[in-house]
Amino acid sequence: MLGILAGLKQEARLAKRCFPDAKVALSHACEAGAQRALSALLDAGVTELLSFGCSGALDMALPPGSVQVAEYVHLDGEHCRTDPALSARFGAAQAAVRGGILHSPVMVGTAAEKAALFSRTGCHAVDMESGLVARSGLPFAVLRVICDDAGRDLPPAANEGLKDGQVHVPALLGSILRHPFQIGALMGLGRDATRAHGAMAHFLQGLPIARG
């Protein structure tokens, strides 16, 4: 049985629609939440895992909407290889990006941080769930889509405006009041998030194992 670990509610909804027979758990975009979600999947008896959803680009060449089926997860200085057969099922041959994805326990928010991590690890992207999946002991794959590019600093509301895995309007408005300069960046991030979600939905439509 497939278990899917996603970060945000929008990602989880897409996963449930396309993989209705899978168990889907939500990290709420935090490490503690990811650990709880993974434990729930393991307790449910899943036999293979997919890390699914959005990621942040570390490679300046990758625009939002680039789909990655990673060959390995970089975690604590080690490369944890994904399962080749499982990666093939999730479109490795069709993905625009292969290579590595970096696990980070915290959100990587600035262009300078992204550039340093790309230089140090060579990973194309970063997320907050794949490392836990990689350390589960089960066969796993990583299917991610770039949501923000490597050359941009994330606005404060990208972190402050989330609650329980989705945009929380009071928190978002509070962040905007504290940092009004970020409105333009937030609008750009929203456009890129829409582009990423559409790119992933289109990619999944081409997979024979996906429905919806």
In a domain, 15, yes or no: yes
What pLDDT does 29 receive? 77
Total number of domains in the chain: 1
In a domain, 49, yes or no: yes
What pLDDT does 153 receive? 80
CATH number, residue 15 = 3.40.50.1580
What pLDDT does 24 receive? 96
- List pLDDT tens digits, range 22-45: 999 998 878 888 899 999 999 999
In a domain, 69, yes or no: yes
In a domain, 23, yes or no: yes
In a domain, 212, yes or no: no
What pLDDT does 94 receive? 93
Domain residues for 94?
A: 2-205
pTM to 2 decimals? 0.88
Task: Give the residues of the chain that fall short of pLDDT 50.
Answer: 168
What pLDDT does 107 receive? 82
What pLDDT does 192 receive? 87
In a domain, 116, yes or no: yes
What pLDDT does 33 receive? 87
Sequence letter at residue 169: V
What pLDDT does 164 receive? 56
In a domain, 94, yes or no: yes
In a domain, 176, yes or no: yes
